[in-house]
Amino acid sequence: MQLALFIVFGALALGGALNLLLQRHPIHSALSLVVVMMSLAVLYWSLGAEFLAAAQVIVYSGAIMVLFVFVIMLLNAGEEERTQGSRAAYTVGFPGAAAIFCLLSFVFLSERNAMKASDIGGDLSNAVDNIAQLSAMLFTQQLLPFEVTSILILVAILGAVVLARREQ
């Protein structure tokens, strides 16, 4: 069951990501990204990270991507034009992507024992309530990074307000 979920939604995430690159209209690309986000949320859930899954859906698919779509609609962006591709993409992009892929596979394969045989969705069968654990962790051991992140976001909000009110 859990393996089936993983295969279906992993494939959906990959398909969405490819579609994001291949679609020519910005709205279609943005919607493909929504599909990727939702599939990732299901994958998180099948690994037992319920809160992360819900946050992924609410924050990314529900708020950030809606804003993306909103802006694309407002700007009435047209279809993108196809070019032959820049030379930088061929000289740096493809080798870079290949290098990152190799590095990640090397790390995952060499650390396979440390991660154990990951029990995909094992937590789904006897789900524990991990929100209490998560919040205890955030407010004790990770308190400083948590508060610093909050202040960072507050500064960003203030900056946005100042920029928006500049003309008055």
Partner 1 sequence: MTHLTDFELFLLLSVLKVAVVLVVTLLGVAYTVLLERKLLARMQNRWGPSRVGPFGLLQPLVDGAKSFLKEDMNPLAVERPLFILAPIIALGCALISMSVVPFGAVTRVNGVDMFQIANVNIGLLVVLGVTSIGVYGITLSGWSSNNKYSLLGSLRSTAQVISYELALGLSLVGVVLRAQSLNLRVIVDSQAAHGILSWNIFGGFQFVAFFIYLMAAFAETNRAPFDLPEAENELVAGYHTEYSSMKFAMFFMAEYANMITVSCVATLLFLGGSTSVFGHLFDGFLNTPVANAIFPVCWFVAKVFAFLALYIWVRGTLPRFRYDQLMGFGWKFLLPLAMANIIVTSFILAVRG
Interaction site with partner 1 (CB under 8 A): 27, 31, 34, 38, 50-51, 53-55, 57-58, 61-63, 66-67, 69-70, 73-74, 127, 129, 131-132
What is the chain's length?
168
**CB-wise, 6 or 68, nearer to partner 1?**
68
Contact 129, 51 (CB under 8 A): no
H/E stretch holding 40 reads helix 26-46
**CB-wise, 62 or 145, nearer to partner 1?**
62
In the 8-state DSSP scheme, what is residue 78?
A: -
Contact 13, 39 (CB under 8 A): yes
Q: How far is the CB of 57 from partner 1 (least distance, A)?
A: 4
Helix (DSSP H) and strand (DSSP E) numbers for the chain = 9, 0
Q: How far is the CB of 148 from partner 1 (least distance, A)?
A: 21
**CB-wise, 105 or 150, nearer to partner 1?**
150
Distance of CA 117 to the CA centre of its chain: 24
**CB-wise, 11 or 67, nearer to partner 1?**
67
**CB-wise, 58 or 107, nearer to partner 1?**
58
Contact 127, 50 (CB under 8 A): yes
Q: How far is the CB of 127 from partner 1 (least distance, A)?
A: 6
Residue 146: other Cβ atoms inside 10 A: 13
